[in-house]
Each structure stands twice: as C-alpha cells, then as structure tokens.
Structure 1
Amino acid sequence: MTIDGHCDARFTAVREDLSANLDSGTELGASIVVDIDGHTAVDLWGGYRDTERRLPWESDTITNVWSTTKMVTCLAALMLIDRGLLDPDAPVASYWPEFATAGKEDIAIRNLLSHTSGVSGWDRPFSEENLYDWELSTSRLAAQAPWWDSRTTSGYHAASQGHLIGEVVRRVTGTSLRQFVADEIAGPLGADFQIGAAESDWDRIADVVPPPPPTDDGVPDPTLVRRRTFLGPLVQASSANTPAWRAADMGALNGHGNARSVARILSVISRGGTVDGVRLLRPETIDTIFEEQSDGVDLALGIPLRFGLGFALPQPESMPYIPDGKVCFWGGWGGSLTVLHPDSNLTISYVMNRMGPGIIGSDRAEQYVRASYAALA
C-alpha cells in the first residue's frame, strides 16, 4: 500500500509498521507525526477514508479524534490559567454559580482537569442527543450530585469533561469552547483542527469505523461509577459520522483533525509554550501539568492511571510503552494517541479511522510509539 509524506531515515521502522498494518487491513487509514522541537521527523499518511476503499486518505484528510479532543480542551483551560483569568484552586462555582449545588460547592477547577470532580457523566435518563444541547447538558451537570467523595480519586470524565470545562471557558471569556479553540488555538497556529466539523469540510472527513463489540472484562465496579459513566449517556461510535454530531460543541468527544494538526497544537507543551513565535503558555504553566493530582485505579476505566493537570502521566502498569519522566499523554477511543515529552521537545501523534478495542491506546499506537522512541535511542 502506498504511504505518502516523509520520514527521516532513522524512523524507517515507523513507516514500515504503518505500511504493514495498512497492507494487512489492521489499519484502514491513518496518519502519524513525530515532531522534534519544530523539526517534522515523521509526517506520514496512507490508506483509505472509507470501508469500500475507494477514497484515499489524503494529506488534508481529517477524522473524529474522540478523546484526543480533551487534550485541546484542557489546553484551552491552561491558557486561561496562564492569563490569570482562571485559578485552578478556585471553586468551579466561583465562575459558574449554578454549579454550587448538591454538594459541589468545593469542587475546584483542577478537579475538572484531572477527572476527580465526581461528575464523570450525567444522571440518567440522558440520551446521546441531549449531549448536543449545550444549555440542557450543562444545566443538568450543574444540578446533579457528585458520584464519589474523594477529590484525589479519578473517574474518567468520558463525555462530560468537555461540557464542564467548556462552560467554564464560556463563563470566563463569553465565547463558546468551539469558538475559543478556533480563535485562540487553531487559528494562530494554522492548525487544521476544529471542535465539530464545518459542513464545508465534510467531503474530506474519514468516517470512523466502530470498534469490535466490547466483552465483559470482569473489572469490579463496587461504586457503579463505570456503568454510570458509560451509560450516561451511551454513545454509539457510528454517531460520529452524522451531521448532528459534527454540528455539536463537545470538547470531550468531537474534535476533528489529523496527526499533523494535533501535533501542531500540542507541541506547544513539548516546546516550552511557544510554536513558531506563537506563545500560548509560559513554561511555569506547563510545569503545573506534571503535578500529580491522582494515582490509582480509575473508577470509570478500571485501570491504574495517574493524572496531572489536564493530562495523564506515565503509569507503567497500564501504559508500559509510555516512558517514565516528564511525559504526559492522552488519546481517543479506538486508539488515537498523542505523547508529549518536554525534556526532549518531542511530540508523537497518531490518528486513525478504524477503531480498535479499548478506550486508551491500542496495539497499533503502542507499535508506533515504541518504534519512534527506538529511533531516538
């Protein structure tokens, strides 16, 4: 299978892995970027946008990147912290007064960023379509009680984090999260990324291919947080290919981009806060990302995770291929993954349309990340 783009000679193994996965059908279409302090060592894409294999994955193909969107949403919050407009230790209710109900008076901004607020989903009944209604969905979150008490225990805010942070962004700036990302992040950086997708871009979107049906993994859920999170609401992967999904503002779920645009944005963290003269963060703000907020079995995902301020930190038991040190990462349902390594100014980003099993990472993501680090060894 033809792969387009380029890679430095030492990253040949990354190209070979992508080629093998495309040839075997493990991948349908995908893009991979490795950026080292502004040098694009890898920028590869290949495969198809459609299951009929009629539409090739092009240089400007974009796709729904699921929870990789959360990384951009958290960057938006960090930018407001950097500007002194948001205090991570302040109660959410100091910016969003309606949130101070049902025992949430003391939940802080940092709890939204680190998945420790206790509001990891919506009390049922709550439908996928309700996600698209900003006023309804945020008012429901403001009214409900947290599902657990500890503010140092994470429960992955699978669909809710974008609405929670997005409403704070709206209260502070007067601008929707979607517009803030367009005006303050993607626009200045020239990054082909958007929350949702404009209709004018639909003809270049690679539709996502849903993952295999989940199996009973036997993870105990004594608090029922796992069930409540993923059923409140139950999101169908195929919904990402619909007009209603693309029209919505969902900072946890419906960002559209590719490896190049995701790497362009998030390399801000790897490169000290400034990319090609555009400064989004001070180095001191970047350092706060690596302050551990929680470490333990996540109540929603059922695996050991460590969270800093807005991003996951290395946890060898659950993500053994993410190296230890000053590294942060996250990814999206089905396997997309972005790894940020400020000490080496390294950004690795992988985006695909054929979803694999699981929420965070995949065998393919592991393969590309390991090959990238091996090239740098």
Structure 2
Amino acid sequence: MNVNGAVAEGFEPVREAFARNFETLGDRGAAVAVYRDGHKVVDLWGGAKNVDDDADGAAPWEHGTAQIVRSATKGVAAAALLLLNQRGELDLDAPVGEYWPEFKAAGKERTRVWQLLAHRAGVPALDRPLTPAEALDPVLGAEAVAAQAPVWEPGTDHGYHAQTYSWLTGELVRRVTGRGIGAWVADEIAGPAGADLWLGLPAAEAARAGRVGKIEPPADPRGLKTRPKRAVADAYADPDSLTCRAFAAITPMPDENDPAYRAAALPASNGIATAEGLARFYASLIGEVDGGTRLFTPETVELARGERSAGPDRVLVVPTRFGLGYMLHGAASPLLSPTSFGHPGRGGALGFADPASGIAFGYVTNGFRKSVTADPRAQALVRAVQGAIAA
C-alpha cells in the first residue's frame, strides 16, 4: 500500500500506524490529518477512493478526496449552536420553546437548549420513524420531533440522540438565524476556517466524494475482531429496544451514496469532509489556524468540553460522557487526553480537539465497520499521535 502525503519531524509514528491500518486492520481507503498549535503536522492518504473498487484499476484516493463522516457531523452542528450563543443570539439556558414554540408539546415545555446538545432532551426515537424521503425534508423532521413525547423527563437522564439530533439542532439554527443549517455552516464555519466540510454537498464538489460501504474486520488471532458485551449485543438485536429505535428513527437506512441524500443537510449523520477539513475545523475551535481564523473564544471552548452528561447511556447502553454536543474522553470514546472533546462517526470517522496539547485530529474512511464510538483504526492513529507528542 502506497501512503501519500507528509508528516512533520517527530510524527513519523503516525505514518507507520496509518500504513498498518491497511495491512492489518482492513482499511480500504482513508486519510488522516493532524494540526498542532494551528499548523498542519500530518496530512496522509492512501488506498482506493471507493470501497467497492476492484484492486486492479481502482480510482485512487487523492489529496482532497472527501467522505461521509456520519455522526462526526454532530461536532459541526454543535459548533453552530455554540457560536450563536457566543454571539449573543442564542441562550443555552433558555427553554427550547422560546425559539421554537411547537417544541413545547407533549411535556417538553421545560426542555433547555443545552439539554439538546447534551443528549438529555428525552427524544432519541420517534413513535413513527421517518422514511428516507421524509427525513430529507427539514420541515417534516422538525415537526415530528416537536410532536414527539419524551421517553424520559427532559433533563433527568441522558441517551444518545443518534438521528433526532439532526432536527433538534437544525431547526434551532433555522429559527434563530432564518437560514438552513447547511448554508449557515458553509458561511460561518467552513468558509472562515478554510475547511473542506459540507452539510449538504454542493453539486460542484460531488466528484470529490468517494463511495462508502461496509467492510468486515480481518480475522486475527490477536483479538482485533472482538465481541460486544452481552448487554450491548442484546440491545442492538432487539428491534423494540430504545437503542434500535433511536438508530432507526429513519427507516430504512438511507443510501449514503445517493446524490440526493448527500445534497441534503442532516447534521446528525450526513456531513461530508476531508480528513484535513475535519482536523482544520477542530483546530479553528481552539486556536488560530495558520495565524488566521479562530472560531471559539476560550470561554466557549470550556463550555463545549464541560461535562454535562455522564454514566450509563439509555441508548448506547455503555457509560458515556458528553459536553455540549461533544463526546468527552472516556472508556466508550477514547480521545487524546482528559481535555479532549470531539465526535466519532459510527463505523470509522473521528474528529476532535485537545486544548492541552494544541492537537486537532481528523480521520475519514470509506469502509464502515460495526463499531459505534471507538473504531480500532482511528484509535491506532490516536495512540500514534500520543506517542509522537510524548517523545
């Protein structure tokens, strides 16, 4: 496997780990980028652009190839709400209904904006799942969530809002700004940060995005193919469990290679980014990038990564930790250090920032696996970064 790109002196272990992902962990096509103190120190890519390409004559992954990042999109959506708060346009402690009156229905009138971001709103599932076509209509999605009765009293517990996070965050941005979240992110986040990421892939950029698919981890005597804990396996096997219902809020699962799906804005699940764009986005949250843009003030960084939810997750079953829209470093989602905040994408992608070390990280892949929060390929790269900065 040819690994393309460059690493700064001292970050050679990241290149080695990236190559091993193809050799031993079954990666098909992928890229990783790392910034430190606002400057790029890792920019690597390799493999095939499309997971279903034959080995011979496959379209190669190029610098600038983008991929869908699934729930890693949630970190971008969270940044939109936090920036609106930073600008004084959105009060995180206010009731959601102050901005979105219809949301007060069915016992949700006391739900606070911050509780949406911390997965405490109590609406991770819908009584009637949306079809893929319905899900792409932001009005229908918002109406469904607004009418939904909560599973638990909002604010009293937490559980991952896997799909409904799209309409919770997207509708708030629309109500506050009058713009769709895709356009707002393009103008206020991706553009100023110079980051190649999109919530709603423009037709002009469609050729850059490769096809995605599923891959199975290789059988390996060292235990690379591990079994989930019994409680987790049972939750995903039971179609009536809250776990299954949360992930099935859109049923059936949309075709992630469909141009119409990619052109829509579902901020829980369908962002498309390059690894460099994802890392640059996180770098811009914690400092100036290349001497230029910084998006978050230090106070907003502390808001983002301050723990708001911790313990057994009603949806993911395992213990999770959340700040305001971001997963925090922990057993379920290991990041770089206790100061890290970011978000994985189910099956592979990962983006995060670590204020203590000045590191910002982005990994994207076209081969999704069953892992939800701690993909072994991304984790191997994180460990390599840890080793590089420790040395």
How far is the alpha carbon of 1:150 from its aligned partner? 5.2
> Could you tell me which residue of structure 2 aligns to residue 131 of structure 1?
135
Correspondence 1:165 to 2:155: no
Query: 1:263/1:152 Cα in 2 relative to 1: closer, same or farther (>3 Å)?
Result: farther
Query: What value does the CA root-mean-square deviation take over the aligned residues?
Result: 2.2
How far is the alpha carbon of 1:227 from its aligned partner? 2.5
CA distance in structure 2 between the partners assigned to 1:46 and 1:285 by the alignment: 35
Correspondence 1:329 to 2:342: yes
How far is the alpha carbon of 1:148 from its aligned partner? 1.4
SS of the counterpart of 1:105?
coil
Query: 1:2/1:323 Cα in 2 relative to 1: closer, same or farther (>3 Å)?
Result: closer
SS of the counterpart of 2:155?
coil
Correspondence 1:292 to 2:292: no
Correspondence 1:232 to 2:246: no
How far is the alpha carbon of 1:324 from its aligned partner? 4.2
Match of 1:280 among 285, 292, 295: 295
Correspondence 1:311 to 2:315: no
Native 8 Å contact 2:130 2:249 kept in 1: yes
CA distance in structure 1 between the partners assigned to 2:302 and 2:112 by the alignment: 19
CA distance in structure 1 between the partners assigned to 2:362 and 2:242 by the alignment: 30
SS of the counterpart of 1:240?
coil
Query: 1:368/1:216 Cα in 2 relative to 1: closer, same or farther (>3 Å)?
Result: closer
> Could you tell me which residue of structure 2 aligns to residue 302 of structure 1?
317
How far is the alpha carbon of 1:337 from its aligned partner? 1.0
Show structure 1 runs of 5+ residues with no match. none
Correspondence 1:95 to 2:99: yes
Native 8 Å contact 1:28 1:48 kept in 2: yes
Alignment of 1:26-45 (within 5 A): 26-45=26-45
Deviations for 1:257-305, whole angstroms, at most 9, x for unmatched residues?
111001111112332x777332422211111112221111111111110
Native 8 Å contact 1:124 1:233 kept in 2: no
> Could you tell me which residue of structure 2 aligns to residue 3 of structure 1?
3
> Could you tell me which residue of structure 1 aligns to residue 378 of structure 2?
365
Q: Which moved more, 1:117-126 or 1:301-310?
A: 117-126
CA distance in structure 1 between the partners assigned to 2:301 and 2:122 by the alignment: 25
Native 8 Å contact 1:34 1:41 kept in 2: yes
Native 8 Å contact 1:121 1:233 kept in 2: no
CA distance in structure 1 between the partners assigned to 2:42 and 2:294 by the alignment: 24
Deviations for 1:160-202, whole angstroms, at most 9, x for unmatched residues?
1121111000010011000001111111222111112122222
Q: Residue 225 of structure 1 aligns to which amino acid in structure 2?
A: L
Native 8 Å contact 1:189 1:275 kept in 2: no
> Could you tell me which residue of structure 1 aligns to residue 267 of structure 2?
251
CA distance in structure 1 between the partners assigned to 2:44 and 2:18 by the alignment: 9
SS of the counterpart of 1:348?
strand
Query: 1:193/1:32 Cα in 2 relative to 1: closer, same or farther (>3 Å)?
Result: same
| Aligned residue pair count | 373
CA distance in structure 2 between the partners assigned to 1:270 and 1:279 by the alignment: 7
CA distance in structure 2 between the partners assigned to 1:355 and 1:112 by the alignment: 27
Deviations for 1:64-87, whole angstroms, at most 9, x for unmatched residues?
111111101100110001001111
SS of the counterpart of 1:254?
coil
Query: 1:275/1:144 Cα in 2 relative to 1: closer, same or farther (>3 Å)?
Result: farther
Query: 1:85/1:275 Cα in 2 relative to 1: closer, same or farther (>3 Å)?
Result: farther
Match of 1:204 among 190, 205, 208: 208
Native 8 Å contact 1:101 1:145 kept in 2: yes
SS of the counterpart of 2:127?
coil
SS of the counterpart of 1:228?
helix
Native 8 Å contact 2:216 2:369 kept in 1: yes
> Could you tell me which residue of structure 1 aligns to residue 367 of structure 2?
354
> Could you tell me which residue of structure 1 aligns to residue 224 of structure 2?
none
Identity across matched positions, percent: 38
Q: Residue 49 of structure 1 aligns to which amino acid in structure 2?
A: K
Alignment of 1:45-194 (within 5 A): 45-50=45-50, 51-52=52-53, 53=55, 54-149=58-153, 151-194=155-198
Native 8 Å contact 1:153 1:296 kept in 2: no
> Could you tell me which residue of structure 1 aligns to residue 284 of structure 2?
268
CA distance in structure 1 between the partners assigned to 2:337 and 2:207 by the alignment: 40
Native 8 Å contact 2:5 2:45 kept in 1: yes
Q: Normalising by the residue count of structure 1, what TM-score does the alignment of the two structures yield?
A: 0.93
Query: 1:275/1:303 Cα in 2 relative to 1: closer, same or farther (>3 Å)?
Result: farther
Query: 1:64/1:235 Cα in 2 relative to 1: closer, same or farther (>3 Å)?
Result: farther
SS of the counterpart of 1:10?
coil
CA distance in structure 1 between the partners assigned to 2:36 and 2:264 by the alignment: 34
Show structure 2 runs of 5+ residues with no match. 218-226
